[in-house]
């Protein structure tokens, strides 16, 4: 599910501060990057058996190289996904998400956006 109108999409920020600001809100990049793209995930456990939700913030390098740490990242529309063990995460629009989970996801993304806005000010 795309988290539309968060204000995060199309934000531009250097990779190192982005890593720091997302980590402050428990979004993890870990090994989820390549030379041109980055992905930050936030895990939300569920009471449902074998289901975990993830908020995903993605971006791509418009300058520099992620591997070298000198990239300038343009962010994309965040996603909310549902992980089905052992198959993987589904982000499709046909997925059904509890309303309180969507609100929580929007709130977390909003906090990251505020941090980025303050950094870029």
Mean pLDDT of the 73-78 span = 97
User: pTM for this structure?
Assistant: 0.89
Mean pLDDT of the 64-71 span = 92
Domain segments of the chain as ranges? 11-120
Mean pLDDT of the 20-47 span = 90
Pair 71, 16: CB distance under 8 Å:
no
Choices 3.40.50.720, 3.40.50.300, 3.30.70.3270, 3.30.310.100: CATH for 11-120: 3.30.310.100
CA 70, 76, 80, 83 torsion: positive or negative? negative
| Range name among 14-18, 85-89, 97-101, 115-119 with the lowest pLDDT average | 85-89
* pLDDT score of 12: 97
């Amino acid at each position: 599910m795309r988290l539309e109108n968060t204000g995060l999409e199309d934000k531009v920020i250097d990779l190192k501060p982005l890593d720091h600001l997302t980590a402050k809100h428990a979004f993890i990049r870990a090994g989820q990057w390549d030379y041109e793209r980055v992905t930050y995930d936030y895990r939300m456990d569920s009471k449902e058996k074998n289901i975990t939700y993830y908020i995903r913030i993605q971006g791509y390098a418009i300058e520099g190289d992620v591997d070298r740490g000198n990239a300038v990242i343009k962010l994309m529309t965040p996603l909310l996904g549902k992980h089905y063990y052992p198959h993987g995460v589904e982000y499709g629009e046909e997925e059904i998400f509890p309303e309180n989970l969507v609100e929580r996801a929007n709130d977390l993304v909003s906090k990251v956006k505020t941090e980025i806005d303050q950094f870029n000010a």
